[in-house]
Amino acid sequence: MRIITANLNGVRSASKKGFFEWFGNQDADILCVQEIKAQLPDMTPDFLKPHDYQGYFHYAEKKGYSGAGVYVRREPDDIVIGWNNTEFDAEGRYVEVRYGNLSVISVYIPSGSSGEERQAAKFRFMADFMPHLLALKAEGREVVLCGDVNIAHKEIDIKNWKGNLKNSGFLPEERAWLTQLFDDHGYVDVFRTLDPRAEQYTWWSNRGQAYAKNVGWRIDYQIATPGIAAKAKTTSVFRDIKFSDHAPLIVDYDHAL
């Protein structure tokens, strides 16, 4: 089972840069996307059903903002749009597909970088989302949480960690939230388990020469419950083509849908 997650920074923009042609050659079972920045009227047939994959989407009420989706090769047993949080369901941040007891989720956790108001919203999201993830695990579901988490977990996950200790995305409270999810509640950082190397990033600022110099952050994840995480075999970050300010994260699992 191959799962890909990618923040598109606009589905229309990524499409113009060849994202869907690339996706068609990946032999993926599931593609999770975030920040589609589109509503249903904006979605062409190529966006809704590329290469005979079926897409399921959570659109933000605000135009040109946020949005998440999941493309699947095989029809799921169930689809869940949103996670019963009125504030953030209005922002289009959650799509879950279910196959038996496996849940694959595309999530777009808010960024707090624009100021205190959005940072407070990010903390509200995190506080309410943790119990949701724990409830899924407690139900006996295997979960693969894919998406832009907007948090670099450890110093190895960000190039300029010293200069970002007080910045959104690397705040102590944010990093502690991930540590709690991993160490206290048993979820697994799949990429880091398979690839312990430094300087493996998934996002780069558009300022300066950040991309060319690999001055990046690892903020896109596949986070899984232990059972399915143990079946993860290979992982990679695709950087050969720049579809957005994020790079797609690919994980292959020894698991058949």
Instruction: Specify whether 254 is catalytic.
Output: no
Q: Please write the tens of the pLDDT for every residue from 104-154.
A: 999 999 999 999 999 999 999 999 999 999 999 999 999 999 999 999 999
CA distance 155 to 175: 10
CA distances 34 to 5, 7, 38, 74, 151, Å, are: 8, 5, 11, 20, 15
Of the candidates 58, 71, 148, 187, the residue annotated as catalytic is 148
In the chain, where the domains are located? 2-253
Q: Is 246 annotated as a binding residue?
A: yes
Q: Coil, strand, or helix at residue 98?
A: strand
Helices (H), 50-189: 86-89, 116-138, 172-179
Q: Please provide the size of the chain in residues.
A: 257
The tokens of 211 are what?
């991309």
Considering the candidates 58, 153, 246, 255, report the single residue annotated as catalytic. 246
> 214 labelled as ligand-binding?
no
Active site residue 108: yes
Is 148 one of the annotated active-site residues of the chain?
yes
User: What are phi and psi for residue 186, nearest 5 degrees?
Assistant: 85, 0
Contact criterion met (CB below 8 Å) for 13 and 244:
yes
Distance (Å) of CA 187 to CA 42, 120, 136, 168, 193 = 36, 25, 11, 23, 11
Instruction: Give 147's strand partners.
Output: 107, 221
Catalytic residue among 108, 187, 201, 221: 108
Q: What is the pLDDT of residue 208?
A: 85
CA–CA distance, 72 with 175 (Å, rounded to integer): 31
Closest Cα to residue 96, out of 82, 110, 75?
A: 82
> Is 148 known as a binding-site position?
yes
Tokens of 154: 């450890």
pLDDT tens digits in sequence order for the chain, 257 residues long: 999 999 999 999 999 999 999 999 999 999 999 999 999 999 999 999 999 999 999 999 999 999 999 999 999 999 999 999 999 999 999 999 999 999 999 999 999 999 999 999 999 999 999 999 999 999 999 999 999 999 999 999 999 999 999 999 999 999 999 999 999 999 999 999 999 999 999 999 998 899 999 999 999 999 999 999 999 999 999 999 999 999 999 999 999 98
Residues 6+ apart with CB under 8 A from 215: 159, 160, 204, 205, 208, 209
Tell me whether residue 245 is annotated as binding: yes
What H or E segment, with its residue span, contains residue 11? helix 11-16
> CATH number of the domain at 2-253, please?
3.60.10.10
State both tokens at 57.
Answer: 């989407």
**Burial level of 87, CB count in 10 A (0-12/13-18/19+)?**
exposed
CA distances in angstroms from 115 to 110, 111, 120, 162, 164, listed in the order given: 12, 9, 9, 20, 15
Q: What is the pLDDT of residue 207?
A: 87
Classified as helix, coil or strand, 154 is coil
- Let me know: does 92 contact 61? Beta carbons within 8 Å: yes
Check if the beta carbon of residue 59 is closer than 8 Å to that of residue 80: no
